Amino acid sequence: MMEKVSYNKEAIIELINLKKSFGNNRVLNDLNLTVKQGENVVVIGKSGSGKSVLIKCIIGLIKPDSGIVSVFGNDVSKLSHDDLDQMRAKVGFLFQSNALYDSMTIRENLEFPLRRHWLKDTKDTINDLVLDALTNVGLADTIDMKPSELSGGMKKRVALARTLILKPEIILYDEPTSGLDPVTGKEISNLIVEIQKKYNTSSIIISHDLSCAKITSNKIVILIDGTCYATGTFEELNNMSDKKVKQFFD
């Protein structure tokens, strides 16, 4: 039995009074955030403002000190190991560093999450899925290469393909455009929008790249000192006169 804690029927992810500190460093301080079905929320904040911690709390990699993390209406911190696994199967996570397994080929990288979740799949269907996912990101010919042979943008796209191969309902992007040139960054941003439309996913995108935020966001949250300082669409926030908000848009 999964305990339903959601207060908002539309919310697919809900964070309530989230607190997390590392030693004396308080990273998240009474953070509240709601993501609705089919919504792309971009979280903007300075380095070290706890953006990565925020999404790692959602996937259960980091346990918050207090507060509730609710995904699909289930309290993540109260899920059993197996339930957490099931939940994670529906949540994709694109790591900042791509987190491609260096020792494996691209094919094995993409097969990796598949084997875990659908052990009963035959070799052929797995192969088809891998090829499909790679074709989606336009890199079908790299299938037998190692990650080290790919460029930064290609790695990002392979990582995205790996995230998408499980057809997640939620995708968490950790700085998807960091370390990429503006052109490639734009490509990735467009890809994110495309994915949202194609699979009707809800996403949280951690970024400090405004151009990315502009393209991908339905809603922007500005994170300052561990709380949501301001919320709104790109235009709304851009027109705000608040000093602290302004510094992100200059």
Of 76 and 215, nearer to another protein (C-beta) is 76
DSSP assignment of the chain equals -PPB--S-SSEEEEEEEEEEEETTEEEEEEEEEEEETT-EEEEEE-TTSSHHHHHHHHHTSS--SEEEEEETTEEGGG--HHHHHHHHHTEEEE-TT----TTS-HHHHHHHHHHHH-TT--HHHHHHHHHHHHHHTT-GGGTTS-GGGS-HHHHHHHHHHHHHTT--SEEEEESTTTTS-HHHHHHHHHHHHHHHHHH--EEEEEE--HHHHHHH-SEEEEEETTEEEEEE-HHHHHT---HHHHHHH-
Of 72 and 93, nearer to another protein (C-beta) is 93
96 binds another protein (CB under 8 A): yes
CA atoms within 13 A on the CB side of 194: 11
167 binds another protein (CB under 8 A): no
Smallest separation, CB 214 to another protein (Å): 26
Smallest separation, CB 89 to another protein (Å): 6
Positions in 199-228 near another protein (CB under 8 A): none
Positions in 100-159 near another protein (CB under 8 A): 100-103, 112-113, 116-117
Smallest separation, CB 221 to another protein (Å): 22
Smallest separation, CB 85 to another protein (Å): 5
91 binds another protein (CB under 8 A): yes
Of 203 and 217, nearer to another protein (C-beta) is 203
Nearest to 222 by CA among 201, 200, 202, 238: 238
93 binds another protein (CB under 8 A): yes
Of 157 and 219, nearer to another protein (C-beta) is 157
Smallest separation, CB 92 to another protein (Å): 8
Size of the site for another protein (CB under 8 A): 21
98 binds another protein (CB under 8 A): yes
Q: Which residues bind another protein (CB under 8 A)?
A: 56, 59, 61, 85, 88-89, 91, 93, 95-103, 112-113, 116-117
